[in-house]
Amino acid sequence: MLNVDNLHAFYGKSHVLHGVSLNVQPGEIVSLLGRNGSGRSTTVKTIMGLVDGKGSVRWRDEQLLGHHAYDIARHGIGYVPESRDIFPKLTVRQNLLLGQKAGEAGGPRTTWQLDDMYAMFPRLKEREHTPAGVMSGGEQQMLTLCRTLMGNPSLIMIDEPTEGLAPKIVELVADYLREIQKRGVSVLLVEQKLTIALQISQRCYVMGHGRIVFEGTPDALRADAYIRKEWLEV
């Protein structure tokens, strides 16, 4: 589905990614773990066309590296940035409609509709006509995730969705990611909270200094004390 091979990226003269290779298969939740500055966010931004890269990013056997972000989104890849990037003066409903993928006239119903978002996140329905900028951080995270889903992606890349959220909201986000997976959407999750990542993922990658230093199952990562101490624990 998504195959990244020998990916390099630069910020000016700084070489940030050093030959990153990873893949996400249909129906998987895959976590990309590591400390701050390890290159996780740069990896998903490069896949999304927001950072220039060298190497290979193949989506269903088509090369995407070098494409614009809007073109990559049209191919079926969604991106939820850590910064959330909601439109604060627009209402919840307006934010959601902005994410909707234009369908062809007479075409089939897209997978995700407003009613689906409101069923999954009832709080968004309650605040449907509220300006998004006055909502809590957890509500804004829900809104950003739903706005991306309205584009009907086959893969969604989510950068630090639980950052700054209360423990109860973190558990809700984990439940929502499982629900998204059940609806046939693959997930590439950038996350620092190891417990949540290991709880919901089928596979994990660990990054350090712009490289992949571990690939395996959650159980394999739990059992690898060296990797956790060297690359994850503070």
User: Does residue 188 form part of some domain?
Assistant: yes
Domain count within the chain: 1
38 lies in a domain?
A: yes
Q: What is the pLDDT of residue 19?
A: 97
Domain-embedded: residue 177: yes
Range with the lowest mean pLDDT among 43-47, 104-108, 193-197? 104-108
Domain with 196 in it? 2-15+25-80+148-231
Does the pLDDT of residue 104 top 80, yes or no?
no
Taking only the tens place, the pLDDT of each residue in 156-191 is 999 988 887 778 878 888 888 998 899 889 999 998
Phi/psi of residue 10, nearest 5 degrees = -135, 145
Position 23: which residue type?
A: N
What is the distance between the alpha carbons of residues 106 and 9, in angstroms, rounded to a whole number?
A: 42
How does the average pLDDT of the chain come out, rounded?
90
Residue 30 in domain? yes
Q: What is the mean pLDDT of residues 133-143?
A: 88
What is the reported pTM?
0.91
- Residues of the chain with pLDDT > 70: what percent? 96
Q: Is residue 93 part of a domain?
A: no
Task: Calculate the alpha carbon distances from 29 to 4, 138, 175 in Å.
Answer: 16, 21, 12
CATH assignment at residue 45:
3.40.50.300
Q: Give 9's pLDDT tier (boundaries 50, 70, 90).
A: very high
In a domain, 102, yes or no: no
Flag whether 171 is in a domain: yes
Written in H, E and C, the secondary structure of 19-84 is EEEEEECCCCEEEEECCCCCCHHHHHHHHCCCCCEEEEEEECCEECCCCCHHHHHHCCEEEECCCC
Strand order of the β-sheet with 62-63 is 14-24, 2-11, 53-59, 62-63
pLDDT digits (tens, 9 = 90+) for 63-77: 999 999 999 999 999
Tens of pLDDT, residues 187-202: 999 988 888 899 999 9
Residues in the chain: 234
Domain membership flag for residue 100: no
